Amino acid sequence: MTEVDLLIIYKSFRLPLLMIAMGFITWYTYGSKKRRDRIEEAKFRMLEED
């Protein structure tokens, strides 16, 4: 494999891999009502302190 072939492979998998990672993070963060409430609890606590 030449450098050009490896560069083509890298560039073709870079964006889909990024989209999969972002989708997983979003699903993990907001997929469960319990987890979402725990994450947003800190937001409301910070707003009350101001």
Higher pLDDT, 14 or 45: 14
Task: State the average pLDDT over residues 2-9.
Answer: 93
- pTM assigned to the model: 0.61
Residue 50: band (very low, low, confident or very high) from pLDDT cuts 50, 70, 90 = low
20 versus 32: which is more confidently predicted?
A: 20
Residue 49 reports pLDDT greater than 80: no
**CB contact at 8 A, 34 and 24:** no
- How much is the mean pLDDT over the chain? 89
The radius of gyration of the chain's CA atoms, rounded to the nearest angstrom, is 19
